[in-house]
Amino acid sequence: MKNPLRRLPDRPRAIARVVCEALREELATFPKPGLVSHVDSGSHPDMDADCFLRAIAAMEPFFAGLAAAGEAGAPLGDLQRIGLCAETAMLEATGGKNTHRGAIFSLGLLAAAAGRSGQHRSATLGDIVRECWAGDLPVPCEIEASTEGIARCQRHGVEGARGEARSGFPSVYRTGLPALCRALESVDRPSARVQVFFVLLASCEDTTLLKRGGAEGAGFARAEARRFLAEGGVLSSGWAARAATIHRAFVARNLTAGGVADLLAATLFVHALAPPDQASPHHRHPGRKKFLSPA
Q: Helices (H), strands (E): how many in the chain?
A: 14, 0
How many angstroms separate the CA atoms of 125 and 121, rounded? 10
Which DSSP category does 178 fall into?
H
What pLDDT score was predicted for residue 144?
Answer: 44
How many angstroms separate the CA atoms of 131 and 192, rounded? 31
Q: Name every residue whose Cβ is closer than 8 Å to that of residue 245 and which is 6 or more positions away in sequence.
A: none
CA nearest to 295, candidates 136, 141, 78, 96: 141
Element (H, E) at 151: helix 148-156
What pLDDT score was predicted for residue 233?
Answer: 98
Tens of each residue's pLDDT in the chain, 295 residues? 456 555 544 899 999 999 999 999 999 999 999 999 999 999 999 999 999 999 999 999 999 999 999 999 999 999 999 999 999 999 999 999 999 999 999 999 999 999 999 877 667 999 999 999 998 886 654 444 445 554 554 444 455 678 889 999 999 999 999 999 999 999 999 999 999 999 999 998 888 898 888 889 999 999 999 999 999 999 999 999 999 999 999 999 999 999 999 999 999 999 999 765 556 554 444 333 332 333 2
What pLDDT score was predicted for residue 274?
Answer: 79
pTM above 0.85, yes or no: yes
What pLDDT score was predicted for residue 118?
Answer: 80
CA trace torsion 263, 269, 272, 278 (10° rounding):
-50
Q: Name every residue whose Cβ is closer than 8 Å to that of residue 15 and which is 6 or more positions away in sequence.
A: 5, 63, 64, 67, 111, 114, 115, 273
Contact 150, 140 (CB under 8 A): yes
How many angstroms separate the CA atoms of 270 and 278, rounded? 9
Query: Length of the chain in residues, anyone?
Result: 295
Which DSSP category does 171 fall into?
I
Contact 264, 176 (CB under 8 A): yes
Taking the CA atoms of the chain, what radius of gyration do you get in angstroms? 18
Angle at which helices 177-184 and 258-273 cross, to 10°: 70
CA nearest to 269, candidates 131, 134, 115: 115
How is 194-263 classified by DSSP, letter by letter? HHHHHHHHHH---HHHHHHHHHHHHHHHHHHHHHHHHTTGGGSTTHHHHHHHHHHHHHHTT---HHHHHH
What pLDDT score was predicted for residue 89?
Answer: 97
How many angstroms separate the CA atoms of 103 and 139, rounded? 18
What pLDDT score was predicted for residue 193?
Answer: 98
The per-residue pLDDT for range 259-290, each reduced to its tens digit, is: 999 999 999 999 999 765 556 554 444 333 33
Contact 68, 224 (CB under 8 A): no
How is 82-100 classified by DSSP, letter by letter? HHHHHHHHHHHHHTS--SS
How is 46-71 classified by DSSP, letter by letter? T--HHHHHHHHHHHHHHHHHHHHHHH
What pLDDT score was predicted for residue 163?
Answer: 82
What pLDDT score was predicted for residue 135?
Answer: 87
